[in-house]
């Protein structure tokens, strides 16, 4: 691999789904050029956000617009979402920074290990206090809760003075949950809250459920019967067990909306298997994030997953992507110190516990650390 003085970085376009519009912004490329990095950006990456190739190429001759293969053929490849189906485009020994979710993607772990990629899962990059350094949890909650209230508004007399207060039940009060509480109390948006207040309408009740209480079937069934919006904002310690079995969803009111902020996958062949926190609901994307009870997506779930009890669901694998430019401004600022550390400390040698604050953070998110291996000897 090239040393820091000749380091190259590639930014491929994300192709996870048609609705994916996000790309790292030109401002990040300008910062890297100032550090002496040669940058390769896949052509048309910014087009879905209205950013032309000239906005990147005009920064410096060191920024090249390239095809997909060339974007992956760099010393460091940065792509926000895991590039499924494209790992073989990476060169052995190079670095991949992406949201790789090692804990729930065992096949991905083994593939990257077999390819010899120095992978860093951005979702596992944490500071010395254990907090994630690359995350946009506030927008996860804001966009998801707003979508839930949008869906509820179409099914429930939200703007009537005769209704009871809207009751929101949030499972989880961690990184996502605390923001979910904030946005649920606002009805999903500042504008909706302003209207509720201006028209003196009944307010919003927010009840937070931690995981142990959620396992109390008698209590939770009673709570669900009074719930208008049910939110999963949990980070489960045991992803093989659903927190809310499908059978319990039958007590939700017919108009109720399930808001999926956890967006765990169905990996039923895993050992142990991974299931959804709320059993039997579809997983959404930037192409479609709302599913009515009659949506065909319910019938497309893996065989054996119970779906008898159905309510409207809002779910998106990437809630921040609903507002792409704002999302990438946040992520760009968060990955900048990581990329600077790679430059200053010699690429893969920077990913080690004794290097620096950000070097330690990347080490905690590295594939080597996840597999219990030692850092590279540099």
The fold of 4-134+324-370 is Rossmann fold (3.40.50)
**Which among 205, 135, 210, 142 is positioned nearest to 175, based on CA atoms?**
135
Q: Are 171 and 135 in contact (CB under 8 A)?
A: no
Count of Cβ atoms closer than 10 Å to residue 161 Cβ: 9
**What pLDDT sits at residue 24?**
97
pLDDT tens digits, one per residue of 11-24: 999 987 888 899 99
Q: Measured at the alpha carbon of residue 147, what is the angle toward residues 143 and 149, in degrees to the nearest 5?
A: 120
CA–CA separation, 46 and 11 (whole Å): 11
In terms of DSSP bridges, do strands 312-315 and 290-291 run parallel, antiparallel, or are they unpaired? antiparallel
CA–CA separation, 225 and 241 (whole Å): 22
Count of Cβ atoms closer than 10 Å to residue 230 Cβ: 25
pTM: 0.78
Least confident piece of the model among 3-12, 59-68, 187-196, 291-300: 3-12
Q: Measured at the alpha carbon of residue 213, what is the angle toward residues 209 and 218, in degrees to the nearest 5?
A: 110
The pLDDT-based confidence of 4 (bands split at 50, 70, 90) is very low
In the chain, ranges of CATH 3.40.50.720 domains = 4-134+324-370, 137-321
Mean residue pLDDT across the chain: 93
Which superfamily is assigned to 137-321 in CATH?
NAD(P)-binding Rossmann-like Domain (3.40.50.720)
């Amino acid at each position: 691999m090239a040393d820091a003085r000749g380091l190259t970085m590639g930014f491929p376009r994300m192709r996870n789904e048609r609705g994916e519009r996000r790309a790292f912004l030109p401002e990040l490329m300008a910062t890297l050029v100032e550090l002496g990095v040669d940058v390769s950006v896949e052509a048309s990456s910014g087009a879905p956000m209205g950013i032309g190739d000239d906005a990147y190429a005009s920064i410096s001759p060191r920024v090249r617009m390239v095809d997909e293969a060339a974007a992956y053929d760099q010393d460091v490849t940065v792509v926000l979402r895991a590039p499924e189906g494209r790992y073989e485009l990476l060169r052995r020994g190079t670095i991949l920074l992406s949201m790789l979710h090692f804990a729930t993607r065992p096949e991905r772990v083994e593939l990257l290990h077999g390819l010899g990629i120095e992978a860093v899962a951005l979702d596992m990059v944490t500071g010395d206090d254990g907090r994630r350094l690359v995350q946009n949890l506030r927008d996860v909650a804001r966009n998801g809760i707003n979508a839930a209230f949008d869906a509820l508004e179409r099914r429930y007399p939200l703007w009537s003075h005769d209704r009871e207060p809207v009751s929101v039940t949030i499972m989880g009060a961690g990184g996502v949950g605390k923001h979910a509480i904030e946005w649920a109390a606002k009805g999903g948006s500042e504008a909706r809250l302003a209207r509720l207040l201006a028209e003196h309408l009944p307010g919003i009740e927010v009840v937070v459920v931690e995981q142990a209480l959620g396992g109390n079937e008698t209590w939770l069934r009673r709570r669900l019967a009074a719930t208008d919006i049910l939110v999963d904002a949990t980070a489960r310690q045991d992803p093989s067990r659903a927190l809310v079995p499908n059978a319990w969803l039958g007590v939700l009111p017919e108009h109720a909306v399930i808001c999926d902020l956890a967006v765990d996958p169905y990996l039923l062949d895993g050992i142990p298997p991974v299931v959804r926190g709320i059993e039997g609901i579809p997983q959404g994307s930037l192409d479609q994030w709302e599913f009515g009870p009659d949506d065909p997506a319910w019938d497309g779930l893996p065989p054996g997953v119970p779906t008898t009890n159905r309510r409207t669901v809002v779910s998106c694998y990437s809630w921040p992507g609903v507002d792409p430019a704002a999302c990438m401004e946040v992520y760009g600022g968060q990955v900048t110190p990581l990329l600077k550390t790679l430059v200053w400390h010699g690429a893969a040698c920077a990913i080690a516990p004794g290097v620096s604050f950000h070097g330690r953070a990347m080490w905690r998110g590295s594939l080597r650390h996840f597999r219990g291996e030692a850092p590279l000897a540099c």
